[in-house]
Structure 1
Amino acid sequence: MPNYREILDKRVQARKSKSKLDVNTLLEHFAIISYKVPLSKIEKYIPKPFKLWTFLENGVAYALVSAVPFKDKDFRFYKLHSSLTFNFYQTNFRTYIIDERDGSYAAWFFGTTLGSITHIFPKLLWKMPWEFGRYSFDFIYEEGRYKKYVMEFTSKMGNGKIDLEGTTEENILLNGFSNLAEQDLILTHPVKGYYTQSESKIGTYEIWHPKFNLKQGKVKAAYFELFERLELLSKEDMKTPHSVLITDQIVFDVLLPPANFNNPSE
């Protein structure tokens, strides 16, 4: 079994830089809303050299998919113009993978909705699967928890609605994980992301952030049209997530530009 704690600690300590395009941002209202999906439904979307991180439940292999909404506050290319900042909402749609070339853990991105016209730059320059989204968000954060968290967005990628309630309960061991270190590494700390750039290319980029201080949340209502379009989840499935984790803010670095490599599946 891998030493998940050692891998996680190295990722937290390894803050680095890539180029003058590196980004620093404060993510607010960050939530990870995850669902279990039978491996048979999702494996067709994951090309080599990757395989899905999975767990067994009653003899059936499952992967996890997550919708990850948040607000980028003071998003800035700090090496180019530190005083020029952007603020917008964003939702990432991802699953969790293992790179068979070296056994490392990462995330596969199905797509992203971004509440800013600036989505066009990564989409055109780096073929990232990003689409513009129109967002509304209302929240009440008091006494260390979200008493209200209601977000809606519309996008060509698919519409979404989230109605959550936070708690002050600490992160607990979730179904499918052997220990908290594995859970933190897989679910909250994939520092490399991969996505389909073209029929023949896979894109990849890196991020960095400190360790999360996540609290448990509860879903009152949730719907993500993209997951339904991909035939991973039904409307009914989305009412009962595997888990909901929330934090009010965390610092993120995004190391740009993305790289790419040939898709061996083509």
Structure 2
Amino acid sequence: MQDALSTRQDLFADFRHVDFWIFDLDNTLYPQDLNLMVQMRTRTYDYIRQLLDTDHTGAAELYERFETVYGTAFNGLIIEHGIDPHVFLDYVHDIDHGLLVPDLQLADAIRSLPGKRVIYTNGTVGHAENVLKRLGITDAFDCIFDIVWADLDPKPHRAPYERLFAQMGADPKRAAMFEDVARNLEIPHALGARTVLVSPEFLGRSRHTDRAAADVALGYIDHVTHDLRGFLAGVLNALPDNRHNEDDRPGTF
């Protein structure tokens, strides 16, 4: 595992062959401290509270149990309570995106990556489009793959990863994935992809939290960074100039 201090040689060796770049959306393309996920969690608590006529504490406890047992609260609500998934998704993603601001340097870095660039999110296409529009990076991606496309089967389950590679005609061994949730990198690593954990808790070899240290000790994380923009700049700097992507056509969704 290499951290954000990876050398140019490290990055060249790990990414020189990559031509398929997969990016998670929330807390990966924008800073975690903007708390958009907190808004969505609060909306989920409200949905559970109204659905089951419980209080905030009861809703939070159910949320945690669903996350533990089913991987997501969304799955738990479908399995145990038969909710309409589309009503739930519309409700939870009805949040304020106003804290997001354009990140032109990130947009330029992603556009310059050679090959295909896609979003793969457990959220919805509508939410992803709102985020990308606010960040000014809509045209940096070729496709958005969301929870509806995945037949409501969320990360970290294996099937949607395999479907993603198959649909794009991509070789996992020529792929790289960027994620803020460590467990979501296990399957792509097992399939042969390079994996990068985007973690604000990791600030280098000498300064990181116990949680970040536990994450990077996992065998399926190749790199970790708290600065996605800087990490991608390092990757691009390590690659030959003729590998940079000069195709800036708008993404297709």
The TM-score, its normalising length taken from structure 2, stands at: 0.27
Which has a greater percent of helix?
Answer: 2
Which has the bigger relative contact order, CA under 8 A and spacing at least 6?
A: 2
The TM-score, its normalising length taken from structure 1, stands at: 0.26
Which has a greater percent of strand?
Answer: 1
